[in-house]
Amino acid sequence: MGILDTLFRINKSKVAYDLSDLGVDVHSHLIPGIDDGAQTKDQTLGMLLKFKELGYKKVITTPHIISDLYRNTPEIILAGWKEVLAMVNEHQLDIEVEVAAEYFLDEFLLEKVLKKEVLSFGENNVLFELSFSSPPNQLAELVFAMKTNGYVPVLAHFERYPYYFSNAEEVITDLRMKGVKLQLNLNSLTGHYGPQVRKQAELMIDNGWVDLVGSDCHRIDHLNLLERNLTLNYFHKLKELHLMNRQL
């Protein structure tokens, strides 16, 4: 390696990745008071201002729907979204806010899909998550139901499921063959969720296994953490991926 190459690598490591390259955040919890994200309008406003400062043009907020914890319905979520839009207009924020949901794979999700009672984003993309404690039993059935009903399954933060740490390639190959898109949390690259999650996230980027990235922002601390770590090399590697964020 020549001196110029060495200098380039050193300088590049100090340059922050520009999040305007993504343009759109696809995973956040901004509607106040309906899940474990923003609890007040002021918190929502603060996060939206920070998203704008970081270079985002649009955020797609995705409140939790978990039957035994956050019993949100499309009606509850859409009503909260309208309040956020009113706030955006009131403060003349130059940022778009769209809404979908983050569905937990429980015994009720399949029925919602079959009845077409799910909130989606883009071209019928549906964000869903799994339990962190044990592998899902209904995953294949859910994916089939989503595909046959015109939805695109988007699995949230694959890198965070510990039962996939040892067999990621096998599982991801199967999921992608079935038409599942994979969303990665940006703060996984900072070590926020632990070293094994970070390693899994880096593996996914190295192999091009990431279709979308999201902040999974619950509070402004998550965006501040992200901002402090944007000089990391793996953020710059996002430029090499064909991410769906840029087309939303």
Measured in degrees and rounded to the nearest 5, phi and psi for residue 240 equal -85, -10
pLDDT tens profile 139-195: 999 999 999 999 999 999 999 999 999 999 999 999 999 999 999 999 999 999 999
pLDDT at 14: 83
pLDDT tens profile 24-53: 999 999 999 999 999 999 999 999 999 999
Q: Where are the alpha helices (DSSP H) in 54-73?
A: none
Residue 76, classed as helix, strand or coil, is helix
Instruction: Compare 241 and 6 and report the one with higher pLDDT.
Output: 241
Class (C level, CATH) for 20-241: alpha beta
Q: Within 10 A of 177 (CB to CB), how many other CB atoms are there?
A: 8
Instruction: Say yes or no to pLDDT of 6 above 90.
Output: no
DSSP-derived letter for residue 238 is: G
Share of the chain above pLDDT 90, in %: 94
**β strands within the chain, DSSP E:** 24-25, 58-61, 64-65, 96-99, 102-104, 125-129, 152-155, 181-185, 212-214
Name the pLDDT band for 9 (thresholds 50, 70, 90).
Answer: very low
pLDDT at 10: 42
pLDDT tens profile 191-237: 999 999 999 999 999 999 999 999 999 999 999 999 999 999 999 99
DSSP-derived letter for residue 15 is: S
DSSP-derived letter for residue 218 is: S
pLDDT at 7: 45
Instruction: Say yes or no to pLDDT of 8 above 50.
Output: no
* CA pair distance 139, 152, nearest whole angstrom: 14
pLDDT tens profile 86-145: 999 999 999 999 999 999 999 999 999 999 999 999 999 999 999 999 999 999 999 999
Domain ranges of the chain: 20-241
For strand 58-61 and strand 96-99, is the pairing parallel, antiparallel, or unpaired? Answer: parallel
